Amino acid sequence: MITLRTGGTYVGPDYNYIPLPITNGLSEVLFCPWSRDLFIQAALTGLGSGDSVDISVEGSLDNAGWDNLNANDAVTTIDTDGTTLLLFDGALPPYIRVRVAGTGAVAGSTTISIVGYVQIIS
């Protein structure tokens, strides 16, 4: 778990870059009870024809029960190489993670880089 706290490394008025490594389809959990805005950037390379990656950003109050932060409970489907930016603004739950699922030959051919940018209320 990556913990952000007042007085910690990532605190400040600017948006801060935080890599979120993916293991078995889930990112590292980001714990930041003082976050105000969250950007998740997904960069993909090596997608084959007909392949796609589904990304959902999930939040939790207790690091146990997780729900999609998208108001419509939708996932973001990416089917071309490039960078996709997801924005969540306003009050957020203290625990955040990213769920990634692929279709086609994604597991063997695609590089997925997920990073978060967080602004902290200080």
Q: Furthest-apart CA pair in the chain: how many Å?
A: 46
Q: How confident is the model over 26-53, as a mean pLDDT?
A: 82
Distances (CA, A) of 24 to 81, 89, 91, 99, 116: 21, 27, 28, 9, 18
Q: Confidence class of residue 1 from pLDDT cuts 50, 70 and 90?
A: low
Alpha helix positions (H), the chain: 106-109
Q: Where are the domains of the chain?
A: 26-120
Q: Confidence class of residue 12 from pLDDT cuts 50, 70 and 90?
A: very low
Kindly report the pTM of this predicted structure: 0.78
pLDDT value of residue 65: 95
Q: What are the pLDDT digits (tens) for 43-95?
A: 888 887 778 888 899 999 999 999 998 888 888 888 888 888 888 877 788 88
Q: How confident is the model over 92-100, as a mean pLDDT?
A: 88
Say which amino acid occupies 49.
S
The architecture (CATH level 2) of 26-120 comes to Sandwich (2.60)
Structure tokens at 62: 């207790």
